[in-house]
Structure 1
Amino acid sequence: MPAVVLLVTGCSGGGAPNPPGAQSPPPASSAQSTAAPPASQAAPPETSAGPTPPPAPAAEPAPPPAALSDLELAGLQSLPVGDLPGWKQVFTEDFTLSDVPIGAFPGPAYQARWSAGYKDGTPDTAGQASGGQSGYYPSKVLSVSNGTLDWFMHSENGVFMGAAPTPRIPNASTAPPRANSLLYGRVSVRFRADSLAGYKTAWLFWPDSGVWPRDGEIDFPEGDLADYIYGASHWADPDPAAADVFFSKSRFPSWHIATTEWTEGRVAFFLDGQLLGAGITRTPNTPMHYILQTEACLPACPAPQTQGHVQLDWIALWSRV
């Protein structure tokens, strides 16, 4: 699949969810950012019960990339299970254990393997600068239905709401220890989203150290939900603008499989089995953790009436061997 690679000037970091005992997320920079919220959490605004979410569409077969064989296409549509050459599988999820209503994720079925991430009222990247106009509200956003993890992206009382859940995967970090960390890793996700201008994904590896931009960042799939999907390898470098970015010609409403392969000296991005590109400059080389960061208002907020769904059909992670 053709892609465009850019050296970004003006794109910056992401952030980690804040489950009990975890570090506080890092502060935002002045540049446009996918950074996580600051250590202090804003109190949730007073809200009503909120709108009733429209039914989420069920998962359907991914559109086939023309360059792949029928066998390869069939393999893409299914949750990949098992080790791969150079990779040991450490986590899989296809959300078939149970449905979970909004307000109850992860619930008994998923709580051993998932965190809902930031608490309600935590400002997201843009919300740090706007005083909380956008933020993370997992109790109003996350649910499981039709075999998918679902984000109901919407606003209440002028606040645009997202969520940043995380899988619990084996620990590679000792400073501090955490149950969601890898030093080099591979992640593959099958996802889609309604076309929602002003909402975005930045599903990312964020450094366990919390030191950004020094320790880098890896984002994929990233992009405004009404625009093109891209991947970004942020350099482990003092310059917050230094990154390699690879744009696809695909948009969010169709089902896609995005795969990130992070190895020593290389970060490669694949969309629907096709290589978008690989960053090889100052790639991250310290333990990082994976976050399904989904937020709003970068660079502009949605229209107040904008609402819809982001869906994750399955996710698989591998550690490097």
Structure 2
Amino acid sequence: MTGDLPGWKQVFVEDFSAGDVPLGRFPGPLYSAQWSAGYKDGTPDTAGQRSGGKSGYYPSKVLSVRNGSLDWYLHSENGISMGAAPTPRIPNASSNPPRANSLLYGRYSVRYRADALPGFKTAWLLWPDSGVWPRDGEVDFPEGDLAAIIYGAVHYERNGADAWDKLDSDQSVTSWHVATMEWSPGRVEFFLDGRSLGVSTKAPTSPMHLILQTESCLTGCPAPAAQGRVSLDWISIWVPA
């Protein structure tokens, strides 16, 4: 987790050891230098943009730091299923950054687990700083419904439309896993617990920023009473050395 690697220089690491933060107070004084809570309460998530806001991001009702992990308390209130999408602040990320956590190429590694919650999902992703999608691509890992297997995806434009390479694992989220994506010129490779899931050659070529997007209703919505947690034990980020 800590330190440079062959070919990679570490620029960010977080293990949430500075202390706990109550629900609704993240990042708070302990973590505000390195984190943003992401989208404000009430921002529709990917599915909510199409469903009139029946699912969305509510960091004040979802995020906390508990027992040395960043915690998502996934649940529904008043018919709205709630997630959150915190983002790390990477210092000196780029010589001319449009965003504080912008990188062109990088290695991103997380140790995480989750409860099996049908209808909720992770899509921890690299999103283009330009906002032009699918032209400038998208990289997602770990991705998947929390009751299904973990996979990685690389989105790209083909004939003016979204196309994607999907690389599956055979693992569920209910055990602790280390998920790593390596984004280099001409290739994106996904690793789960040190094992390669494969390579996509459709690598984005413009700066991207990391969003730990945790949301719902993309492959069916969660049951109204469903609730559970996603836990991030640590995250580490490197740039090409």
* Contact 1:154–1:306 (8 Å) recurs in 2: yes
User: SS of the counterpart of 1:129?
Assistant: helix
Q: Equivalent of 1:172, from 75, 94, 101? A: 94
The 2-side partners of 1:177 and 1:171 are apart by 10
The 2-side partners of 1:130 and 1:202 are apart by 19
* Contact 1:201–1:295 (8 Å) recurs in 2: yes
Task: Give the aligned CA root-mean-square deviation in angstroms.
Answer: 1.1
Q: Equivalent of 1:135, from 37, 42, 56? A: 56
Match of 1:211 in 2: 132
Q: Write the mapping of 1:13-28 to structure 2, written as runs, cut at 5 A.
A: none
Deviation at 1:92, TM superposition (A): 0.1
The 2-side partners of 1:83 and 1:89 are apart by 5
Measured against aligned partners, the alpha-carbon deviations of 1:65-116 in whole angstroms (never above 9, x if no partner) come to xxxxxxxxxxxxxxx1111111110000000101000010000000010000
Q: Equivalent of 2:30, from 100, 103, 109? A: 109
The 1-side partners of 2:12 and 2:5 are apart by 13
Match of 1:85 in 2: 6
The 1-side partners of 2:175 and 2:57 are apart by 25
Q: TM-score, normalised by structure 1?
A: 0.73
1:156 aligns with 2:77: yes
Deviation at 1:236, TM superposition (A): 4.8
One-letter code aligned to 1:87: W
Match of 2:111 in 1: 190
Deviation at 1:320, TM superposition (A): 1.4
Structure 1's 135 and 173: CA in aligned 2 closer, same or farther, altered over 3 A?
Answer: farther
The percent identity for this pair of structures is: 68
Unaligned runs of at least 5 residues, structure 2: none
The 2-side partners of 1:209 and 1:107 are apart by 29
Measured against aligned partners, the alpha-carbon deviations of 1:196-248 in whole angstroms (never above 9, x if no partner) come to 00000000110000000000000000000000000001125554431110111
User: SS of the counterpart of 2:30?
Assistant: helix
Q: Write the mapping of 1:246-285 to structure 2, written as runs, cut at 5 A.
A: 246-281=167-202, 283-285=203-205
The 2-side partners of 1:128 and 1:233 are apart by 22
**Structure 1 segments of 4 or more deviating over 3 A?**
236-241
User: SS of the counterpart of 2:38?
Assistant: coil
Structure 1's 237 and 181: CA in aligned 2 closer, same or farther, altered over 3 A?
Answer: farther
* Contact 1:217–1:236 (8 Å) recurs in 2: no
Deviation at 1:178, TM superposition (A): 1.5
Structure 1's 202 and 213: CA in aligned 2 closer, same or farther, altered over 3 A?
Answer: same
User: SS of the counterpart of 1:196?
Assistant: coil
Q: Write the mapping of 1:39-54 to structure 2, written as runs, cut at 5 A.
A: none
* Contact 1:214–1:238 (8 Å) recurs in 2: no
One-letter code aligned to 2:224: P
1:320 aligns with 2:240: yes
Q: How many residues matched? A: 240
Structure 1's 238 and 203: CA in aligned 2 closer, same or farther, altered over 3 A?
Answer: farther
Match of 2:220 in 1: 300
User: SS of the counterpart of 1:241?
Assistant: strand
One-letter code aligned to 1:275: S
User: SS of the counterpart of 2:103?
Assistant: coil
* Contact 1:173–1:181 (8 Å) recurs in 2: no
Deviation at 1:177, TM superposition (A): 2.1
Q: TM-score, normalised by structure 2?
A: 0.97
One-letter code aligned to 1:171: A
